[in-house]
Chain A
Amino acid sequence: MNSIIITAVLVLSLLGVALAIVLYLVAQKFKVIEDPRIDLVEAVLPGANCGGCGYPGCRGFAEAFVKTDDIGSMFCPVGGNDTMAKAAEVLGQTAEAKDPMIAVVRCSGSPEQRKRLVEYDGASSCKLATALYGGDTGCQYGCLGLGDCVAVCKFDAIYIDPVTLLPVIDEEKCTACGACVKACPKFIIELRKKGPKGKRIFVSCINKDKGGPARKACQVACIGCGKCVKVCPHDAITLENNLAYIDYNKCKLCRKCVEECPTGAILEINFPPRKQKVEGQAENVENN
């Protein structure tokens, strides 16, 4: 009886030792030497794995980051400048500070301004609705309000306003990862410079129709009149296909275009209230 137990223990122990040696040798033979800095860089990254940087997750970013010659070409939008500074420190370099960005919704067509003409009762997805028709209003460029951007946001930074039926972006939570920009089948959401103290100006419309049809479909549409282009002292505004666009790198936030816009399509965000209150525009600020 005893001898059986002893034999079994001995055989198993010997087997264990023999296999351990084999495993050790194999592990030595096929050893993968990994740059230890990858782990260090990954540790300082936010770990959201959102893909906003263009790499497959934070690990992917870290691997590419330690290899790249020009760290200035890479940026983690979620972590921002602080994270990039820390990550650069691991490599013994310094990262250039970049302006923080934020997602903006370029549509102000609430039901009040943009009448609903048809009713959609299909599955609640902007992508599916886009395959079927131009939208439930007269504007085929505008927001459908079915929330593909909300579904894709990993930071809970977007919600659909129950009154305007438009997406609203939470400035505190938005990391400018760009997921909503890619998710929107209408290309309404854009990443723009957040601006000093969050002050920014943009054309909140992407309607490329001529002025008449655009205005008929939506009261706050850009009608391509070009008044903003003329009034802008910094050459920041261009007009193409009946639509004005403000270059955020050139814009000096003088707000002349906001005053000039006849339809109120240009929005100013986070500015202090004006001395002379112009009707209509104050409302728009609140809406956003």
Chain B
Amino acid sequence: MLKTFAKGGVHPPENKFSADRPIEVLPLPAKVSIPVSQHIGAPATIVVAKGDKVKVGQLIAQSAGFVSANIHSSVSGTVESVDPVLDSSGYKRQAVTIVVEGDEWEPTIDRSPELKRTIDADAQTIIKKIAEAGIVGLGGATFPSHVKLSVPTGKKADVLIINGVECEPYLTSDHRLMLEKGHELMVGIQLLMRALGVDKAMIGIENNKPDAIKYLSDISKDYQGISVHALKVKYPQGGEKQLIKALINREVPSGGLPIDIGAVVHNVGTAFAVYEAVQKNKPLFERVVTVTGKNLAKPSNFLVRIGTPVTDLIAAAGGLPDDTAKVVNGGPMMGKAVTDISVPVTKGTSGIIVFPANESRRKADSVCIRCAKCVTACPMGLEPYLLIRMSQRMMFDKMEHERVLDCMECGSCSFECPANLPLLDYIRLGKSEVNKIIRARKN
């Protein structure tokens, strides 16, 4: 019997069209727009000006605080402007736009393809390098990785969990990365283990990727302390609390963090980026992005420079199909429709999904009949039908008592609701209002 998490969960159709497409390097774009707010936390402070020449890997925006991340240029060329640009948030936000000229890398970056297995950095150096490289959680949450690795005093991690679940339908970027960069990934995991001071790492992979499970299980024998675990397919197993429950059967307390129960979770993409940053001196300026869709000519996995317009990715995957009505940045469950397909790829862009018109619209909503399907589906044990009522009636103080902040916005409730109610929309509103109440209370 395969392991999985206990509470809730749904089974959306998988639609992983690009699973057997190897990662291709996307040709350099003509121009990139790199937003300075690609992570959770304070936006980075821009350190270049219009007209400056930059190289690949050069720092263009400095981390502004502990919870923030450095941003590096993903191309070489001239800074065209430092102005707000529309990004996938649907708002114009500060960004550095660079016109691409050639492909000149910072000389400090080791571009050789050889695997560098020997680790000579100590924990502090590793964390420092990760912070300098601007690495954030590449699963989509974009939380700065060095913060997760800096374990607060009094707490101790005993296991590192590596998230290779990729439970979102359509997406295959992590799957391909595990198949093609297995050894680099393993070294990355060992670096993370050293940074945390743990001697055990567990990779969780859902059972719909048997090739990745087999390959990583085989090579993990060469790396001490790393084990691979197959998990039953269930969304949202990639949520860190769900993954911890599935793998080590511990539960993160409400309002707490995984470190409270001795676990730290990192995505496979993050582990690979850590390998490149520490062993190869390469900052995070490119990532693997799945470009997919039912009617797309060539669903693909691309290695993309951060800041590349989504238009370029879609063109490389065979162009935008005629009946396209919606383009989603991220997975179909948690991703967000973009308002313009020229928005740039950011560190958190795990996929671009092109939806045809007949799958783009929301279905007409009706009334709640209290069937409690949302309650059954919620992996956090919340009561979405109740939360939407409270949110609609602006009873935000009550929502706080109902633990609305535990919601991770996985969308399982909206997915299951037979009345098609906008449950998640209202819960999200409630979360932001509750956060306002909490901030006001602190001040």
Contact = CB atoms under 8 A, between A and B. Distances in A.
A133 B426 contact: no
B393 interface: no
A132 B84 CA distance: 18
A140 B90 CA distance: 8
Contact of B339 (A118, A121, A213): A118
A27 interface: no
A128 B426 CA distance: 7
Contact of A128 (B92, B340, B365, B425): B425
B425 A121 contact: no
Interface residues of A, number: 17
A46 B362 CA distance: 43
Given A117-B339, A131-B432, A123 B426 contact: yes
B428 A131 contact: yes
Contact of A123 (B86, B425, B432): B425
A116 to B, nearest CB: 11
Interface in A119-133: 121-123, 125, 127-128, 131-133
Nearest to A133: B90
Contact of B422 (A122, A133, A140, A209): A122
A131 B422 contact: no
Q: What is the predominant secondary structure among interface residues of chain B facing chain A?
A: mixed
A132 B426 CA distance: 11
Contacts of A118: 339-340
A56 interface: no
Contacts of A16: none
A193 to B, nearest CB: 30
A123 B91 contact: no
Contact of A121 (B340, B361, B429, B432): B361
A134 interface: yes
> Which of B92, B340, B365 gathers the greatest number of chain A CB atoms within 10 Å?
B92
A140 B426 contact: no
A122 B340 CA distance: 17
Given A122-B422, A123-B426, A140 B91 contact: yes
B336 interface: yes
B428 A133 contact: no
A5 to B, nearest CB: 53
Interface in A199-221: 209-210, 213
Interface in A154-190: none
Contacts of A122: 362, 422, 425
B425 A134 contact: no
A134 B90 contact: yes
7 contacts: A117-B339, A131-B425, A131-B428, A132-B337, A134-B86, A134-B91, A140-B91
Given A122-B425, A140-B92, 8 more contacts: A123-B426, A131-B432, A132-B425, A133-B90, A134-B91, A134-B92, A209-B84, A213-B92
Of all A-B residue pairs in the complex, the 7 with the closest CB atoms, nearest first, are A133-B90, A123-B422, A134-B91, A128-B425, A118-B339, A134-B90, A121-B362
